[in-house]
């Protein structure tokens, strides 16, 4: 039976989701990759145990994670909970999402309808073996469904006791402002927007979403902080055969130009001078933005989680380091 590390809360910083009462670990574990039916279950379980031992309490999933079988990640995490981790349910913050294609027909395609969101959450709870999730997100803005309908579906999940808080993902600042008006009228506990954000993808700054989050009291849970693995030391000297790009399992390969490789090597030099790996500095850089509550990491083995968690302990940058990074990025 799994017994977590007694010292798991000694180092990890915990950040509030905007002005809400909910705190999340500065680093969270995302189960998008490496939690499918074809992946090694023992490795999945060890990664989750390692994460919790290091103070990670937030585990982020979605209904369609687990390619090629939608729902596999939720089922595998549910199994991990049943095998011992569920004993610590009240120490965990478990989130899931719905919005992208999930099942055949008009009610399971990419949308934000009350029909889809309600059915999807019921399915997710069964796969996870839970009575409720802590956060239920609408995964992607749907221009074809009235935002009032989407907001009411999320609010209803809370009122039914199937979710404690709600969130949105892949919404820009304008879309966020629109749905927030409805949440405020309904008094829905909206706490997070989950956008992509990294050194190589700074759209939340250009859009003003980060400033809007601070001004309006919600947090950002950032995904793809390593830009699909480019912001690591894996591609500094070529493309390893066992990497995502080497396997052809990501669209990001076309981005790996000689110019970008040169930029990554310069960033790596700055990271080394800070006593960090490139991936660690990239995560620390995201966490220095005051709008960010947590950064979502993916992993294929426990060692990556141990490495990445170190980023949470070094989020201060000198003016010289910030200037050097900006010079490279710009």
Domain CATH code at residue 130: 3.20.20.100
Phi/psi at 58 (nearest 5 deg)? -105, 120
Q: What is the pLDDT of residues 42-64, one digit of tens each?
A: 999 999 999 999 999 999 999 99
Q: Which residues contact 263 (CB under 8 A, 6 or more apart)?
A: 328, 329
| Residue 177 domain-assigned (yes or no) | yes
pLDDT of residue 294: 98
User: Locate tokens 């889809």: which residue?
Assistant: 116
| Residue 87 domain-assigned (yes or no) | yes
Helix (H) or strand (E) holding 59: strand 58-60
- Candidates 313, 300, 329, 254; CA nearest to 25 is 313
pLDDT of residue 244: 59
pLDDT of residue 255: 77
pLDDT of residue 237: 79
Block mean pLDDT (10 aa), the chain, length 330: 96 98 98 95 98 98 93 98 98 98 95 98 98 98 98 98 98 98 98 98 98 98 94 79 58 77 95 97 98 97 97 97 97
295: helix, strand or coil? strand
285 is in which domain, residue-wise?
Answer: 14-229+279-317
What's the predicted TM-score (pTM) here? Answer: 0.94
| Residue 325 domain-assigned (yes or no) | no
pLDDT of residue 226: 96
For residue 190, list its beta bridge partners.
Answer: 166
Peptide bond into 104 cis (omega under 30): no
CA of residue 185 relative to chain centroid, distance = 27
| Residue 288 domain-assigned (yes or no) | yes
Domains contained in the chain, number: 1
Residue 50, CA atoms < 13 Å, CB-side half-sphere? 19
**Paired sense of beta strands 133-138 and 219-222, if any:** unpaired
User: Locate tokens 């059915």: which residue?
Assistant: 119
| Residue 249 domain-assigned (yes or no) | no
User: Locate tokens 């069964």: which residue?
Assistant: 126
| Residue 259 domain-assigned (yes or no) | no
pLDDT of residue 124: 98
Helix (H) or strand (E) holding 136: strand 133-138
| Residue 70 domain-assigned (yes or no) | yes
| Residue 323 domain-assigned (yes or no) | no
User: Locate tokens 């294929």: which residue?
Assistant: 300
For residue 15, list its beta bridge partners.
Answer: 24
Tokens read off for 107: 């009610």
pLDDT of residue 258: 85
pLDDT of residue 236: 85
pLDDT of residue 68: 84
């Amino acid at each position: 039976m799994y017994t977590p590390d007694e010292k798991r809360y000694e180092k990890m910083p915990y950040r509030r989701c905007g002005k809400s009462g909910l705190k999340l670990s500065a680093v969270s574990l995302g189960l998008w990759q490496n939690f499918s039916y074809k992946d090694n279950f023992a490795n999945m379980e060890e990664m989750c145990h390692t994460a919790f031992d290091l103070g990670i309490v937030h585990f982020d999933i979605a209904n369609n994670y687990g390619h090629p079988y939608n729902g596999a990640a939720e089922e595998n995490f549910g199994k991990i909970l049943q095998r011992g981790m569920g004993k610590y349910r009240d120490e965990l913050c478990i989130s899931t999402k719905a919005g992208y294609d999930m099942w055949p027909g008009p009610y399971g395609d990419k949308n934000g309808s009350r029909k889809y969101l309600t059915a999807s959450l019921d399915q997710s709870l069964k796969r996870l073996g839970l009575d409720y999730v802590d956060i239920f997100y609408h995964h992607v803005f749907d221009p074809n469904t009235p935002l009032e309908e989407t907001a009411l579906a999320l609010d209803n999940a809370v009122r039914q006791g199937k979710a404690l808080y709600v969130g949105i993902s892949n919404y820009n600042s304008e879309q966020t402002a629109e749905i927030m008006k409805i949440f405020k009228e309904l008094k829905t506990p909206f706490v997070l927007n989950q956008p992509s954000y990294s050194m190589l993808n700074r759209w939340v700054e250009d859009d003003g979403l980060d400033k809007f989050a601070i001004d309006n009291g919600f947090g950002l849970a950032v995904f793809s902080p390593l830009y699909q693995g480019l912001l690591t030391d894996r591609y500094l000297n070529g493309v390893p055969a066992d990497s995502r790009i080497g396997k052809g399992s990501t669209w990001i390969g076309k981005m790996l130009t000689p110019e970008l490789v040169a930029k990554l090597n310069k960033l790596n030099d700055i990271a080394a001078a800070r006593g960090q790996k490139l991936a660690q500095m990239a995560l620390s850089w995201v966490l220095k933005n005051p709008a960010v509550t947590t950064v979502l990491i993916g992993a294929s083995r426990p060692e990556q989680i141990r490495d990445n968690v170190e980023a949470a302990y070094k989020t201060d940058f000198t003016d010289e380091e910030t200037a050097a990074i900006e010079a490279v990025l710009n």
